[in-house]
Structure formats: structure tokens, C-alpha cells
């Protein structure tokens, strides 16, 4: 495959992806299959860095994989696998940790944010070295492009630094990955607090739409989303963050432009707008839920797909790691 290689991963840290994950990340993974040679990973090694329950992790790993298949990741053309099934990730992370400065790792702001929120289990050494494991994830696949939002920019910068450092110390080994910028319009905010991003740690369950929740519930959440009092469907992130968020969701799910939606709802208030958007959400979620359920109802098939994915992943990561081992002197 001569197309550029893309790598991305998602943590199995919830029982469902939410609409922000879908529109901001996963849907773009699906689209990139048209133009890139794609490697996608459910990063369960990353998911144990802040404390976890084994049975919950096992379930969430499978549900995450099933959802990725359900939204359109094609395991015939992309490599889809579970990180812990490919031991090269942990091996690569060790090598990279030995060329990472302690001060350099300490500057990663996500660790500071996450560890300051929790107790001892929230500040494990694994959480501290998380960006180094992430660098291994990326570098093991000779990755050309990594889709990144603002929150992951610093981690990709570290991956690039480590690749360059390894190459200059030990000889050309790793491809230096470039960011594939995901546009701002993909940022989805909380339905009840449109100044905060939609997140699984949302303060209100009504602020977040889960891909796998009852679509009737999603419709209700859209209809009761926080907007403003001037009843004009217009895109203005500063003055109208709630309506702007609904417009972004509507545009992304329907394929219509925001300008076209503004025209359609001119002079009609928020009632029709929300009702129609609620219908669009239900239309998109229902088939995703059906396909996810089909994968979860056939555990043997899901296992087979993931085992084949892990095998394909190792066929790439194994030789890259062997190259690094050789350069290191192993």
C-alpha cells in the first residue's frame, strides 16, 4: 500500500462512545480510509493508567471495538486491533522511555491535569509515561500522519522528538510522524453547558449523547439543550455557543452546510430546529446501535476479527521493533 499510513487509538474507558468522540475523532477515522493506509487501535494499555476494574475493562474493550466496526471501520482494508494483544507496544515504550528526559516527560500538561484531579491511583508512573507509550504506538507503524485535536498536540510533538532523537543517536529507524489537523468545527460541546466540551466526565447526564443510549433519550436531550433567549438559528460561537454547537452537530450528521441550515430555519425559532435535529440524531444512531449489537451478539466473530487485526498489526510492528532492537545493540 503506497498511501500514507495513519495511526490513531481510542481508550476503552466508557461503555459507549459519545457524540463528541464520534464527530471529533472516530468518524474522521472512517473517512481517512478513503485516502490512507489506516491502523486503528483500542488502547487498553493506556486505559489502566488511572485505576480500573478488570471486568469493566474487558467489556469496554469489546464494546469499543464493536462500535468502531459498526461506524464503518473496515477490517479488510484497515488494521483494527487491541493494543494489549500486540506486545511490541510495551517493548517499544521501554526503549523510548530510555531516551526521554525526566524533565521532558514532566512537562506534559495532560499528566499534570489528570494527576491533580485524582488521588494516588490517578498519579501512577504509568500515567506519567503515558505519552511515551503513545509515541511507541505511533512509531511502531512507520506512521506518516496522526489525526490530532488540540489536546493531543503536545504528545505528538514528543513522538516526533523521540523519533528524531533515536534516529540521530542510533541511525535512521523511525518515520517522523506529522500531525493531521482535525478542524475546530469537529469540537462538540456539552448540551447543558455549551462552554465545556462534551465529555464522559460531564457533570450532567443530559449534557452528553452516548452512541449506544436509547435514541428516544438522545432526542429528548437535543430538545432540552441549552440555547439562548433570542430564538435566532445563527452560528455565533461567542454569543450563541449552544445554538452553534447544535448547528455543528446538525451539519456534521446531515452533510448540510451551516449556512444552508441557517437559511432553512430563518425566522422559525428553536422548536422546529431542535425537533428536526433530534430526528437526524435518531436516524444516525439507530443503525450504529444495530450493527454494534450484531457484533456483540457474535463474540466468536468479534474475537476472530480482533485476532486477525492483531496479527496484521504485529506483521508491521514486529519488523519495526526488530530494526530498533538491532540499532540499540540487542
Query: φ, ψ for residue 75 (rounded to 5)?
Result: -70, -10
| Cα(298)–Cα(212) distance, integer angstroms | 17
Number of residues that bind ligand ADP (CB under 6 A): 17
| 108 annotated as ligand-binding | no
Binding mask 173-202 for ligand ADP (x = CB under 6 A): -------------xxx--------xxxx--
Bridge partners of 18, per DSSP, are: 210
- Using CB under 6 A, pick the residue from 4, 87, 126, 149 that binds ligand ADP: 149
- Residue 200 bears catalytic tag: yes
Smallest gap from residue 208 Cβ to ligand ADP (A): 8
| 55 annotated as ligand-binding | no
Contact 6, 39 (CB under 8 A): yes
- Residue 205 grid cell: 447526564
| 3-class SS of residue 32 | helix
| 13 annotated as ligand-binding | yes
114, 187, 216, 275: which one is catalytic?
Answer: 114
| Cα(276)–Cα(147) distance, integer angstroms | 31
| 12 annotated as ligand-binding | yes
Query: φ, ψ for residue 196 (rounded to 5)?
Result: -105, 150
Is residue 242 a contact residue for ligand ADP (CB under 6 A)?
no
* CB closer to ligand ADP out of 146 and 320: 146
- Residue 216 bears catalytic tag: no
197, 220, 239, 275: which one is catalytic?
Answer: 197
Stretch of 15-23, 157-165, 242-250, 263-271 lying at the interface with ligand ADP (CB under 6 A): 15-23
| Cα(194)–Cα(240) distance, integer angstroms | 9
| 276 annotated as ligand-binding | no
DSSP letter string, 90-102:
HHHHHHHHTTS-H
* CB closer to ligand ADP out of 24 and 131: 24
Point out the residue whose Cβ comes nearest to ligand ADP.
24
Query: φ, ψ for residue 148 (rounded to 5)?
Result: -135, 135
User: Distance of CA 70 to CAs 8, 16, 287, 299, 325, Å?
Assistant: 17, 12, 8, 14, 37
Is residue 138 a contact residue for ligand ADP (CB under 6 A)?
no
Is residue 24 a contact residue for ligand ADP (CB under 6 A)?
yes
- Residue 146: left if φ>0, alpha if ψ -120 to 50, beta else—which one? beta
Is residue 10 a contact residue for ligand ADP (CB under 6 A)?
yes
- Using CB under 6 A, pick the residue from 6, 12, 16, 20 that binds ligand ADP: 20
Cα angle for residues 151, 221, 268 (degrees, 5° grid): 105
- Residue 302 grid cell: 468479534
Is residue 6 a contact residue for ligand ADP (CB under 6 A)?
no
- Counting Cα atoms < 13 Å in the Cβ hemisphere of 276 gives 16
- Residue 220 bears catalytic tag: no
* CB closer to ligand ADP out of 173 and 292: 292
Smallest gap from residue 50 Cβ to ligand ADP (A): 11
- Using CB under 6 A, pick the residue from 74, 113, 151, 263 that binds ligand ADP: 151
* Strand ranges inside 99-254, DSSP E: 145-148, 178-181
| 11 annotated as ligand-binding | yes
Question: So which residues are the catalytic ones?
Answer: 114, 197, 200
Which positions make up the binding site?
11-13, 20-21, 137, 149-151, 188, 197-201
Q: Which residues bind ligand ADP (CB under 6 A)?
A: 10-11, 13, 18, 20-21, 24-25, 149, 151, 186-188, 197-200
Which positions make up the binding site for ATP?
11-13, 20-21, 149-151, 188, 197-201
Amino acid at each position: 500500500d503506497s498511501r500514507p499510513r495513519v495511526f490513531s487509538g481510542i481508550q476503552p474507558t466508557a461503555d459507549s462512545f459519545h457524540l463528541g468522540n464520534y464527530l471529533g475523532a472516530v468518524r474522521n477515522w472512517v473517512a481517512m480510509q478513503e485516502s490512507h493506509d489506516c491502523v486503528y487501535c483500542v488502547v487498553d494499555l493506556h486505559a489502566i493508567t488511572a485505576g480500573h476494574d478488570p471486568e469493566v475493562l474487558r467489556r469496554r474493550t469489546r464494546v469499543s471495538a464493536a462500535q468502531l466496526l459498526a461506524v464503518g471501520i473496515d477490517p479488510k482494508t484497515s488494521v483494527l486491533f487491541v493494543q494489549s494483544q500486540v506486545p511490541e507496544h510495551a517493548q517499544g515504550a521501554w526503549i523510548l522511555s530510555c531516551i526521554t528526559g525526566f524533565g521532558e516527560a514532566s512537562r506534559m500538561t495532560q499528566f499534570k491535569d489528570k494527576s491533580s484531579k485524582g488521588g494516588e491511583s490517578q498519579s501512577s508512573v504509568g500515567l506519567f509515561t503515558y505519552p511515551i507509550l503513545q509515541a511507541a504506538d505511533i512509531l511502531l507503524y512507520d506512521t506518516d500522519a496522526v489525526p490530532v485535536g488540540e489536546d493531543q498536540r503536545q504528545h505528538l510533538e514528543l513522538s516526533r522528538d523521540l523519533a528524531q532523537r533515536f534516529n540521530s543517536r542510533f541511525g535512521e529507524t523511525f518515520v517522523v510522524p506529522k500531525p493531521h489537523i482535525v478542524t475546530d468545527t469537529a469540537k462538540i460541546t456539552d448540551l447543558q453547558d455549551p462552554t465545556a466540551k462534551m465529555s464522559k466526565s460531564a457533570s450532567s447526564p443530559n449534557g452528553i449523547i452516548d452512541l449506544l443510549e436509547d435514541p428516544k433519550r438522545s432526542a429528548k436531550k437535543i430538545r432540552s439543550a441549552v440555547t439562548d433567549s433570542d430564538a435566532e438559528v445563527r452560528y455565533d460561537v461567542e454569543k450563541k455557543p449552544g445554538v452553534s454547537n447544535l448547528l455543528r452537530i446538525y451539519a456534521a450528521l446531515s452533510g448540510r452546510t451551516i449556512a444552508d441550515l441557517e437559511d432553512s430555519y430563518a425566522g422559525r425559532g428553536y422548536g422546529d430546529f431542535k425537533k428536526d435535529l433530534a430526528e437526524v440524531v435518531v436516524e444516525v444512531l439507530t443503525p450504529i446501535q444495530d450493527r454494534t449489537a450484531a457484533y456483540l451478539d457474535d463474540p466468536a466473530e468479534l474475537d476472530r476479527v480482533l485476532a486477525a487485526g492483531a496479527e496484521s498489526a504485529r506483521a508491521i510492528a514486529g519488523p519495526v521493533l526488530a530494526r530498533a532492537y538491532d540499532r540499540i545493540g540487542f
